[in-house]
Amino acid sequence: MLIYYLKNRSSFIFVISEFLYLRCKKSRFYIEMMKRYLLPLVILCATINSCAMFQSIVKSSFPYTTTLVIPASSKAGEEHSAISMANSFDQNFTKTGNNGDRITLVRIVSAKLMSTDPSDYNIGNLKSVKIYLSKEDGKDEILVAERNDIGANAGNNVVLDIDNSHMLDELVREPSIRVRMAYKVRHTFNTDISLHVVLGVAAYPASQ
């Protein structure tokens, strides 16, 4: 009986030992595999993802926005100007940014005008608008969007016709960009009007 017990105990110990050995061997194998293949793969994926993020930024549009105020004193038939400074969600493209030298062919790809105060203001009360960008002091002004045929019932949201014949590489690297809207009103109104301008700007990676 004792001999049988010892034999079975030896078998049990052998099985347990073999199991632990194989587990440890597999663990060492997995660790070695991770070191050899997984870690470089993770680094490669991180690098690709980082590059993809930059590619996405420079190939997709990033908006410059501002709010312009049209005073109630604007007279019908005469050209007036509303001026404000524009802001971009990504200030990394200014002269002090990290990516300023890495982009080129910066241009306008979309332009929109929306009523904000009052929100239901009919932009059709404007006969025409022209949007200009320039440095903060007004120098180097460039026409980037316009609309000369605004319908009388346009509503509170109007898409403008873009003018991307000029590249904006230097301008978008300025600390601030001035937006000037030249406009003519179709009808006078009794209160100041606030309009939100959204300019979609796009760029490509500069060749290194």
Tens digits of per-residue pLDDT, 51-90? 444 444 444 567 889 999 999 999 998 999 999 998 765 5
C-alpha span between 178 and 198 (Å, rounded): 13
Low-confidence stretches of the chain (pLDDT < 70) are: 1-61, 88-102, 206-208
Full-model pTM: 0.68
The third-level CATH classification (topology) of the domain covering 62-205 is Jelly Rolls (2.60.120)
Cβ atoms of 168 and 116 within 8 Å: the answer is: no
Evaluated on CA atoms 86, 110, 132, 113, the torsion sign reads negative
Q: Which structure tokens are listed for 61?
A: 């549009």
Domain ranges of the chain: 1-59, 62-205
Neighbours of 135 (CB within 10 A): 15
150-153 long-range contacts (CB < 8 A, ≥24 apart) are: 150/123, 150/124, 150/126, 151/124, 152/124, 152/186, 153/122, 153/124
